[in-house]
Amino acid sequence: MGELRLMKGNEVIAEAAIRCGCDGYFGYPITPQSEVMETLMNRRPWDETGMVVLQAESEVASINMVYGAAGAGKKVMTSSSSPGISLMAEGISYLAGAELPCLIVNVQRGGPGLGTIQPSQADYFQATKGGGHGDYRLIVLAPASVQEMNDFVDLSFELAFKYRNPVMILSDGAIGQMMEKVELADYKPRWTDEEVKEVSGSWAAIGKSPDREQNIITSLELASDKMEQNNIRFQAKYQKIQENEVRFEAIDCDDADYILVAFGSSARVCQKTIQLARAKGHKVGLLRPITLFPFPTEEIKRLAGRVKGFLSVEMNAGQMVEDVRLAVNGKVPVEYYGRMGGIIPSPDEVEKALEQKLIGE
Amino acid sequence: MAEVAENIQNIIKPENLVYQKSPVLTDKVMHYCPGCSHGVVHKIIAEVIDEMGIQEDTIGVSPVGCSVFAYNYIDIDWHEAAHGRAPAVATGVKRVFPNKFVFSYQGDGDLAAIGTAETMHAVNRGENIVMVFINNAIYGMTGGQMAPTTMVGQVTATTPYGRDVDLNGYPLKITELIAQLPGAAYVTRQSVQTAAAVKKTKKAIRKAFEIQANKKGTAFVEVVATCNSGWKISPVDSNEWMEEHMFPFYPLGDLKDGEKEDPEALKMNV
């Protein structure tokens, strides 16, 4: 059993980064995730593990610092909240284009624009469909507890280096701010220079030794025939990620007539909703996508073969519901229920919506 | 060509060799226009890296603009940064590799317009990096539009009647601003239009890398440069135009020579 603590989700991101051997964090304060950098600055990991922490002049600068340090083959990360992630979009596209491993944490707040500082899931499209320019994908993990905030940091770096791709933890202000019991991971040492060379020496800009060609971190290719080959390579990688990295949790789905599909905070709400519905005699289950890209399309397709309908429950205007509909492909009804502007739906209102939109028919 | 190369090998002997291409320059043919200053500055950087014996330990950050392909010519590991972001990328590299030599290379639009914030803040933190700034008063790669450093009255693709201060503001003396920042150790403005000027610039860039070795703060080298294609005059006329119009506004020489300010002297007394 690892060390048990009562911590905020944002604090755990910082603690998990230090413990998993992260080399650097570059960020800029924004509510509701500022505790990530505050915790790091309080912990002074540079004295303990050698991890560097830097408050940048903007989100634009922090994501580009991540680009530089990730291109050096190091385990590096940033965190922000929705408006800040928009500012990082250019840099994230460059990271994807240069195939650099890194972790980006988005503790979402409501939008558009300056919006609200209350929790939201309105960045689903931005996280899973691109966000920046060009054809690219992030691997997107959606934690539903403080424990998962902890667990997904190390997992993100593992996936980022496995596929040489940026990974996003798509959290929200509720999970970032709430305190829960968490079992912390044991310390893993940071990679030595030799280990960095072993893991990333074939591509990272770590200093050119005479025995090899230059390593150049770039997303630029002016020759269209070569650029198309790059794009084909990226798409093949995304395909491989879809085949191998789908993660989801299914609760009470085996005998269910109706399935709620929800991630993160709204999945927490839906856990209560299925209890309320079952108390009324309705067989309802919850499918919680843990990876939003890759999306659990096959599992939903499988369930669509035998259930009567799906309700996608989201803290946005209905974004993930599009992916649920694509998976179900018209076999059974797919409805959406959600709240916006930083409102978290109650289990009761979701249950009512389920009855009105699906069961009541 | 092979025959010519062989003849050259027969003619050039160690005893009569007076100049050779730096081994840190690759054999790729440069894409720069004849008369452009970039090639000369690339050569100087390559020579300094070679002479200091730091090829294996040097990482460059190239910009967006004509010198986006600097990585094709200087034989080291590189990062190609987004437009304006080279100082932030260089910061990221240097922070995780404090013992490597890191330099950024940027033009005027990249460093002094879209990347002003990254430029000022990297220097203000006193990042131990070398920043090379090529100021040719125009956007070269996109076809000769107005740069932040374009002279008042200068005709460009986006100032077809000449730069008008009421419309476009003043040419930005960003190097003077940088010299005010406590994180700057060495700030200088040089040029490369004559052999003597090339020698001086090489001395300045060598000094900048030595400052980085000693972790004294940011070393910033501006090179006032020509872009005869963008200016639409000959290379020779470009040198004259630069001397006549740019040097009075962007005077050459050291703006700061020392080390970053002592933080102890600035600390609040609590």
B53 pLDDT above the threshold of 60:
yes
How many independent structural domains does chain B possess? 1
Q: Chain A contact for B93, CB < 8 A?
A: yes
Residue B3: band (very low, low, confident or very high) from pLDDT cuts 50, 70, 90: low
pLDDT at B2: 59
**CATH architecture of the domain with range A4-193:** 3-Layer(aba) Sandwich (3.40)
A56 touches chain B (CB under 8 A): yes
Name every residue whose Cβ is closer than 8 Å to that of residue A31 and which is 6 or more positions away in sequence.
A81, A109, A117
User: Cα(A194)–Cα(B77) distance, rounded to whole angstroms?
Assistant: 17
If phi over 0 gives left and psi between -120 and 50 gives alpha, with beta otherwise, what is residue B208? alpha
Question: Are the C-beta atoms of residues B231 and B138 closer than 8 Å to each other?
Answer: yes
H/E/C letters for each residue in A83-101? HHHHHHHHHHHHHHHCCCC
| pLDDT of B226 over the 70 cut | yes
- Per-residue model confidence as pLDDT tens digits over B113-125: 999 999 999 999 9
Q: pLDDT, tens digit, for every residue of A305-329? A: 999 999 999 999 999 999 999 999 9
- pLDDT over threshold 80, residue A188: yes
Share above pLDDT 90 across residues of chain A, in percent, rounded to a whole number: 98
**Could you tell me how many residues make up chain B?**
270
Q: Show residues of chain B in contact with A70, CB under 8 Å.
A: 92
Q: How crowded is residue A183: how many other Cβ atoms within 10 Å of its Cβ?
A: 12
Same fold for the domain at A4-193 and the one at A248-359? yes
Instruction: Note whether A215 contacts B: Cβ–Cβ < 8 A.
Output: yes
Q: Domain extents for chain A?
A: 4-193, 248-359
B7 in any annotated domain:
no
| Residue B17 is assigned to a structural domain of this protein | no
Neighboring chain B residues of A60 at a CB cutoff of 8 Å: 85, 88, 117-118
Over the stretch A270-284, which tens digit does the pLDDT of each residue have? 999 999 999 999 999
- pLDDT-derived band at A354 (thresholds 50, 70, 90) equals very high
A164 pLDDT more than 70: yes
Q: Smallest CA–CA separation between A77 and chain B, in Å?
A: 11
From 3.90.550.10, 3.30.360.10, 3.40.50.920, 3.40.50.300, which CATH number describes the A248-359 domain? 3.40.50.920
Comparing alpha-carbon positions, the chain A residue that sits nearest to B103 is: A68
Q: How far, in Å, CA of A255 to CA of A281, rounded?
A: 12
Average pLDDT estimate for A135-142: 98
User: Quick check: is B270 in a domain?
Assistant: no
Percent of chain B with pLDDT over 70: 98
Judge whether B198 lies within some domain.
yes
Res A53: pLDDT: 98
B246 domain residue, yes or no: yes
Q: How many CB pairs under 8 A join A and B?
A: 124
Cα B186 to Cα B259: distance, rounded to the nearest angstrom: 7
Residues 6+ apart with CB under 8 A from A111: A82, A83, A120, A122, A123
**Residue A235 pLDDT greater than 70, yes or no:** yes
* A112 upstream amide cis, omega within 30 of 0: yes
Flag if B77 and A69 touch (Cβ within 8 Å).
Answer: no
* CB-nearest partner of B82 from A24, A62, A90: A90
pLDDT (0 to 100) of residue B5: 65
Query: Which residue in the block uniquely carries the two structure tokens 């999970």?
Result: A175
Cα–Cα distance, A56 to B88 (Å, whole number): 9
pLDDT at residue A201, rounded to an integer: 97
| Helix, strand and coil percent figures for chain A, each rounded to 5 | 45, 20, 35
How would you list the strands of the sheet with A291-293, edge to edge?
A52-55, A24-27, A76-80, A102-108, A166-172, A139-141, A291-293
Specify which residues B189 forms β-bridges with. B222, B253
**Does the beta carbon of A239 lie under 8 angstroms from any beta carbon of chain B?**
no
The whole domain housing B147 covers 26-259
Mean per-residue pLDDT over chain A, rounded:
97
Is 60 exceeded by the pLDDT of residue A228? Answer: yes
Residues of B in contact with A210 (CB under 8 A): 56
The whole-number pLDDT of residue A130 equals 86
Contact A206 B77 (CB under 8 A): yes
Residue A325: the pLDDT is 98
Per-residue pLDDT tens digits for B82-127: 999 999 999 999 999 999 999 999 999 999 999 999 999 999 999 9
Which of A79, A78, A81 is CA-nearest to residue A115?
A81
For B55, name the nearest residue in chain A, comparing CA atoms only. Answer: A208
| Chain B residue at shortest CA distance from A219 | B80
* Secondary structure string (H, E, C) spanning A164-196: CCEEEEEEEHHHHHCEEEEECCCCCCCCCHHHH
Rounded CA-CA distance A153/A78 in Å is: 11
Q: What is the band of B14 on the pLDDT scale with cuts at 50, 70, 90?
A: confident
Contact A214 B77 (CB under 8 A): yes
CATH number of the domain that residue B109 is part of: 3.40.50.970
Q: Is B89 on the interface with A (CB under 8 A)?
A: yes
